[in-house]
Amino acid sequence: MRPTYLMESAPGALTIINGKEFIYFGGTSYFELHNNKEVINAAAEALKKYGINSSSSRTSYGTTPLLVQVEKEAAEFFDCEDAVYLASGFLSDIAAVQAFINMNLFDVIFIDEISHYSNNYAAKLSCKISHKFSHADPIDLEKKIKKNLKPRERPLIISDGIFPIPGKIAPLPDYLKIAEIYNGILWVDDAHAFGVIGENGRGTAEHYNLKSEQLYSGGTMSKALGGFGGIIPGRKEFIEEIKQSQTQYGSTPPPSSAAAASLTGMRILKANPQMRIKLWENAVRLKNGLKKLGIDVDDTNVPIASFSLSSYEKMRRLHEKLMEKNILIQLINYVGAGESGSLRIVVFSTHTAEQIDHLIFELGKHL
């Protein structure tokens, strides 16, 4: 039986779980914006003004000024024509793939074998034929396309931008070239990349300096951006397709308090690029420390690092030893974590160098 953890504070470098304060490396609030006073005050004001939610869909009377504003400023943040704000990042993938169907943009799906659950749901719900390709492997992708795509059929390539467990950045330039050769499109779930990578925090496409009409991406406000809900920035026609879809007229939108938090989080990140630089520095400090312990991690500035030991029991014991020292990392069973699971460490921009070094020191004692 998995232990039950109760989070009894906002997530941050210090987080209270089951009544105890931990140095917390277990979440995705990459800039601790969910615990930021300005963000919380904006959400509280919106809650007082607009109530719990509009209790009506966007296509009826449920659009509040904050929902409109969050979309307008998300379009600016991501340098796109428009954006749509949804109830969750999970829903973003489903809504996007349904829009591609309505716009008749593809015939067959090719999806990374460890792409997130939400991308897999999106593929399944599309009722289209779907093939998996080896993780982050453009050669295998092209092999699968050559084998399975019939003449005149167009592929939809689906991947995460940053994979939540390995923290690997997908090779989007290669995927995009393949999408172009086969007259298809590329969909990227950028839940862990929005706000985190790219010069302006615009995610994986900006990280690679890619712009293309065949490249689409979406993500979440619930991680780096400090708010809550899904977000898809993009060209007008695509965004309008989603805004007119069943995901909008058959569903209550996110609360205005969540919109206010997301809006404030985005504004803070936009005005303070040094926060992203601090996050990248922390990511490098963590990875250098892990390398010194002999743990194989990549050299990117992604603030996620995962590794496995030879058995689940060994990982469970290490996790427990760290907890005894008030350090919390994740022992996780998740897509991409392998059969026995992984130990996953995430740094925030708000972790101090001492907290990261302390983690490395304690890890080294108990590995």
CA dihedral 351, 354, 360, 361 (to 10 degrees): -150
Q: How far is the CB of 236 from ligand PLP (least distance, A)?
A: 24
In the complex with ligand PLP, which residue's Cβ is closer, 62 or 230?
Answer: 230
Q: Which residues lie below 8 Å from residue 153, measured CB to CB, with a gap of 6+?
A: 107, 108
The Cα–Cα gap between 138 and 26 comes to 31
DSSP, residue by residue, 190-255: -TTTTTTSSTTS--HHHHTT---TTEEEEEESSSTTSS-SEEEEE-HHHHHHHHTSHHHHTSPPPP
Which residue, 58 or 116, is less far from ligand PLP as judged by CB? 116
CB of 53 to ligand PLP, least distance (A): 17
Strand 20-24 relative to strand 108-112, pairing: unpaired
CA distance 258 to 239: 20
Would you say 11 or 89 has its CB closer to ligand PLP? 89
Shortest approach of ligand PLP to residue 54 CB, angstroms?
A: 19
Interface residues with ligand PLP (CB under 6 A) are 88-90, 116, 118, 160, 164, 189, 191-192, 220, 222, 230
Give strand ranges (E) for 144-197.
Answer: 155-160, 185-189
Cβ proximity to ligand PLP, 90 vs 106, nearer residue = 90
CA geometry: angle 110, 156, 298, nearest 5 deg: 60
Beta bridge partners of 110: 131, 157
Tokens encoding 115 = 């792409």
Closer CB to ligand PLP, 161 or 289, in the complex: 161
User: How near is the Cβ of 203 to ligand PLP at its closest, in Å?
Assistant: 12
Crossing angle of the two packed helices 37-50 and 256-271, in degrees rounded to 10:
150
**CB of residue 219 vs ligand PLP: minimum separation in angstroms?**
7
Find the shortest distance in angstroms from Cβ 28 to ligand PLP.
Answer: 7
